[in-house]
Amino acid sequence: MTPPNNAETPEAAPRPSNFIRDIMVEDARIGKHSGRVLTRFPPEPNGYLHLGHAKSICLNFGLSKEFGGATNLRFDDTNPEKEEQEYVDSIIDNVKWLGFQWQEPVCFASDYFQQLYDWAVQLIQSGKAFVCDLNAEQVRQHRGTLTEPGKHSPFRDRPIEESLDLFARMKAGEFPDGTRTLRAKIDMASPNLNMRDPVMYRILNAEHHRTGNAWCIYPMYDYAHGQSDSIEGITHSICTLEFEDHRPLYDWFVQQLGIFAPRQIEFDRLNLTYTLLSKRKLLQLVQDNHVSGWDDPRMPTLSGIRRRGYPPEAIRNFCANIGVSKTNGILELGLLEHYVREDLNKRASRYMAVLKPLRVVIDNYPEGETEWLDAVNNPEDESAGTRKVPFSKVLYIEQDDFKEDPPKQFFRLSPGREVRLRWGFYIVCQSVVKDEAGNIVELRCTYDPLTRGGGAPDGRKVKATIHWVSAEHAVNAEVRVYSTLFAKENPNDVEEGKDFLSNINPDSLEVLADCKLEPALGTLAVEECVQFERLGYFCVDKDSAPGKPVYNRTVALRDAWAKIEKRGK
Ligand code: ATP
Ligand code: MG
C-alpha cells in the first residue's frame, strides 16, 4: 500500500521531531487527557504580529493538527491601556493569511473576567490572597532581590473579611488607580521572584476595548493566563522561554483552585539578524514615523512581509525547518530569504522590467512596426505556459547593462559588441549618443533578423543575454527597493546613551520612479508576486493606481552575477 499523501500542505509534511513533539508523542502513548490535544496561540492585542509570532503560530497549529487536535486563538486582553480593536482585527487577519484555522469561537481573556474575579474571591476566602494597600513603588521595595529575600507586606495578615470587603470595594470603583492591589500569599523568601506574593489585580479606571467600563480592576497577565488555559482545557500550553520562571506561579494558582492543569512547555524565541522582534519597539518605529505604518514592507510584521511579497508557504516552511530549542539564539536573515526565494522560484512567473532605463534605437528595424515574440513564463513550471512580448524599433535596457569603456570581465553591451536580447534578437551597439553634459542618453544599435528567438543560424555565440522592454508598449511604474531596516546585525547593540533607533539604516528604501515594464505587468492584482528577469522577485503594492503600478522588491535573486561583476573591476 502506498503511504497517504500528506505532503500537500507544508505543515503536514513529515519533518524532524523536536522536544515538544516528543512530549506530545509520549502523552499520546500513555493516553493522557484521553488523547485529546488542544493548544492555543495567545497574543496580547497591543500591536501587530511579527515573524516571532509566526514561529509560535506554526508550532501550535502544526502540532495540534499532527495530533488530531485543535488550536484556540485567544487574546490575552488584560491591559486595556495598550490594547485596541485594530490589533485584534489585524491578528485575526494575519493568522488566516498564514493559513491556519483556529477552533471557533475566537477566545478572549476578557470573557473570563467574572470567573477570574470569583476565583480571586475564593483565594481570599481560603487565605491565599489579600488586599494590599502598598503602592507600586512600595511593593517593589518590599520585593527583595535575587540574593535577598523580600519583606512581608504589613497588610499580608489582615483579616480575610477585611480583604473580601476591600476587594469588593475595589471592584465597585471606590478607590483611585494604583492605591490597592490584590496579591497572592505565597512566599516572600522564594528564590523565584514571581512567587513573592505577586500582584493578581490592580485598580485601573480605563475603558476596555471589549468590556467597556464594566470593570475598573483588571487581572494581571500572570494571574489570567494560566486560568484562561485551564478554562479552555488547553492540554499543551506552549510559550517562549521567558515564561519558564512564571510556570511555578501558574501551577500554584491552578493547584490552589483545584482546576484543570494544563502543561506549559517553553521554547526559544525567534531572533533574526538586522531585525527587531519586539512589539514595543515596532510600535515606536510606527509612532515616530520611521516607517510608513505597521505594514511598511521593511517591517518584520506579518502585515509588512505580506505587503513585501513573502508568501505564507515560505514562512511556514521556514518555521518548520528552524525547529525549536531550549536556548535562545539568533538566525541569519538570509535563511528566511532563502525560503522566500525557494518558494517564489517555483511559482512566480517571469517578466521583463527595466528599472533604470537607457534608450536603445534599432536603426535597421522598420519604423512603426511591432512583432510579438514568444517568452516562457516559468522555466521551473511548464504548465505556466508562454506569453507574447512586443518588440519594436525603440527599446529600453538597463543603464548598468552598457559600458562605453568595458572592463575585462564585462560581457554585456558596449560599442561594437554583440549581445542577445532575452527572447529576442542579437543586437550590436553601433554608436553612443550623449547630451551636452556628456551623459549617455541613447544607444544606436542594429539587430540581426535571422537571430529571432535568440540563436544565430551561423552558430556564432554571444557572451551575454540582457533584458529589455519595448518603449512604445512599456508601462511606466514605480519600483521600491528595500534593504534591511537596521544597519547593524544586532540592532540592540548600541553605544552608551543611544537606543536602537540609532541603528536604523538610512538607506533602507530606494524609490525608482521611472521604471519601464513589459505590458503584462501593468494589469496584475495587488500582492501578485513575479520575477523580473535578472533582477529579483517583486510584487504589486497596494499604492498602485490604474495605469501606474507600484512594485515592491520582495527579494533579490542570488547575486552570483554581481560577484563576477566585481571581479572584473
Ligand atoms: P513582544 O515581545 O514582541 O511584545 P510578546 O511575547 O509580548 O511579544 P504576545 O502577544 O504576548 O507577544 O505573544 C503571543 C505568543 O507569541 C506568546 O506565546 C509568545 O511566547 C509568542 N512569541 C512572541 N514573540 C516571539 C518570538 N520572537 N519567537 C517565538 N514566539 C514568540
Ligand atoms: Mg507578552
Query: Per residue in 231-282, pLDDT tens?
Result: 999 999 999 999 999 999 999 999 999 999 999 999 999 999 999 999 999 9
| CA 485/CA 283 separation, integer angstroms | 14
What is the rounded CA–CA span in Å between residue 421 and residue 448? 11
List beta partners, residue 511.
480
Average pLDDT over residues 435-451: 97
pLDDT per position as a tens digit, 272-328: 999 999 999 999 999 999 999 999 999 999 999 999 999 999 999 999 999 999 999
Q: Is residue 139 in a domain?
A: yes
The pLDDT of residue 558: 79
Atom of ligand 1 nearest to the CA of 238: 18
CA separation for the pair 503, 483 (Å, rounded): 14
Q: Ligand 1, residues 240, 241, 283: which to mutate, most atoms within 8 A of Cβ?
A: 240
| Cα torsion 281, 136, 42, 214: sign | negative
Q: Is the pLDDT score of 10 beyond 90?
A: no
170 in Cβ contact with 201 (< 8 Å): yes
Strand partners, 218: 202
290 shares its domain with 202: no
Looking at the chain, the whole-number percentage of residues with pLDDT higher than 90 is 93
341 shares its domain with 433: no
Find the CATH number of the domain harbouring 338: 1.10.1160.10
pLDDT value of position 459:
95
Residue 223's pLDDT is 98
Please give the Cα distance from 478 to 344 (Å, whole number): 21
107-108 and 70-75 strand pairing = parallel
Q: What is the mean pLDDT of residues 52-80?
A: 97
Is 560 inside any structural domain? Answer: no
Domain CATH for 373: 2.40.240.10
Place of cell 533574526: 272
Residue 286 CA to ligand 2 centre (angstroms): 19
With 50 as the cut, is the pLDDT of residue 495 above it? yes
- Say whether both 330 and 453 belong to one domain: no
Pocket lining: 42 vs ligand 1, CB cutoff 6 Å: yes
| Residue 331 sits in the same domain as residue 436 | no
Look up 128 and say whether it is catalytic. Answer: no
User: What is the distance in A from the centroid of ligand 1 to the CA of 416?
Assistant: 60
Same domain? 355 vs 263 = no
Kindly give the interhelix angle for 19-29 and 51-66, rounded to the nearest 10 degrees: 20
Mean pLDDT to the nearest integer, 61-65: 97
Domain end (from 474, 509, 542) = 474
pLDDT band at residue 17 using 50, 70 and 90 as cut-offs:
confident
All three cell numbers of 560: 552570483
Distance 55 CA to ligand 1 centre (A): 9
Cα torsion angle, 555, 273, 482, 307, sign: positive
- 45 C-beta closer than 6 A to ligand 1: no
CB 436 within 8 A of CB 483: no
> Distance (Å, rounded) from C-alpha 473 to C-alpha 442?
18
> Is position 143 within any domain?
yes
Structural domain ending residue among the three candidates 267, 291, 321 = 267
φ, ψ of residue 463 in degrees (nearest 5): -95, -5
The parent domain of residue 377 ranges over 349-474
247 plus 284 within the same structural domain: no
- Same domain as 27, residue 46: yes
- Give the pLDDT score at 16: 74
Mean pLDDT of 489-505: 95
Give Cβ neighbours of residue 257 (< 8 Å, ≥ 6 apart).
119, 122, 123, 227, 230
DSSP-derived secondary structure for 141-153? HHH--SSS-----
In a domain, 251, yes or no: yes
Residue 398 pLDDT greater than 50, yes or no: yes
Task: Give the burial string for 528-549 (b: 16+ CB within 10 Å, else e).
Answer: ebbbbbbbbbbbbbeebeeeeb
pLDDT at 565 over 50: no
Q: From the CB of residue 438, how many other CB atoms can be counted at a distance below 10 Å? A: 6
Is the pLDDT reported for residue 209 higher than 60?
yes
What is the rounded average pLDDT of the residues 341-369? 97
Give 14's pLDDT tier (boundaries 50, 70, 90). Answer: low
356 labelled catalytic: no
Task: Name the percent of the chain lying above pLDDT 70.
Answer: 95
Residue 427 β-bridge partners: 419, 447
Number of domains in the chain: 3
Based on the fold, state whether residues 356 and 437 are members of the same structural domain.
Answer: yes
Asked whether residue 563 is assigned to any structural domain, the reply reads no
Same domain (yes/no): 342, 354: no
Task: Tell me what pLDDT residue 108 has.
Answer: 98
Dihedral sign, Cα of residue 522, residue 527, residue 530, residue 534? positive
Site to substitute for ligand 1 among 53, 57, 90, 268, most atoms within 8 A of C-beta: 53
Neighbours of 327 (CB within 10 A): 7
Atom in ligand 1 nearest the alpha carbon of residue 271 = 27
Q: How far is the CA of 513 from the centre of ligand 2 (A)?
A: 41
Alpha-carbon distances of 150 from 143, 147, 286, 364, rounded to whole Å: 4, 10, 39, 90
* Residue ranges with strand state E in 204-256: 217-219, 236-240
- Measured between alpha carbons, how far is 482 from 115 in angstroms, rounded to an integer? 49
**Is residue 361, in this structure, part of any structural domain at all?**
yes
Active-site residue identified among 15, 128, 156, 269: 269
State the distance from the centre of ligand 1 to the C-alpha of 237, rounded, in angstroms: 13
Indicate the angle between helix axes 247-257 and 221-232, nearest 10 degrees: 60
- pLDDT per residue as tens digits for the range 87-131: 999 999 999 999 999 999 999 999 999 999 999 999 999 999 999
| Position 551 confidence tier, pLDDT thresholds 50, 70, 90 | very high
What lies within 8 Å, CB to CB, of 471 at 6+ separation is 359, 392, 394, 395, 396, 516
Average pLDDT taken over every residue of the chain: 94
Residue 417 has pLDDT above 60, yes or no: yes
* 520-550 confidence digits (pLDDT tens): 999 999 999 999 999 999 999 999 999 999 9
**From 48, 50, 56, mutation site for ligand 1 pocket: most ligand atoms within 8 A of C-beta:** 56
Round to whole Å and give the CA distance between 568 and 135.
Answer: 70
347 is an active site residue = no
User: Is 498 within a domain?
Assistant: no
Contact 541, 480 (CB under 8 A): yes
Whether 66 and 136 map to the same domain: the answer is yes
Q: Are residues 125 and 258 in the same domain?
A: yes
How far apart, in whole angstroms, are the C-alpha atoms of residue 474 and residue 455? Answer: 25
Of 329, 347, 365, which marks where a domain is finished? 347
* Nearest alpha carbon, ligand 1 atom 14: 43
| Cα atoms found within 13 Å of the Cα of residue 4, Cβ hemisphere only | 5
- Domain assignment present for residue 499? The answer is no
Say if residue 88 is in the same domain as residue 118: yes
Question: pLDDT at position 28, please?
Answer: 96
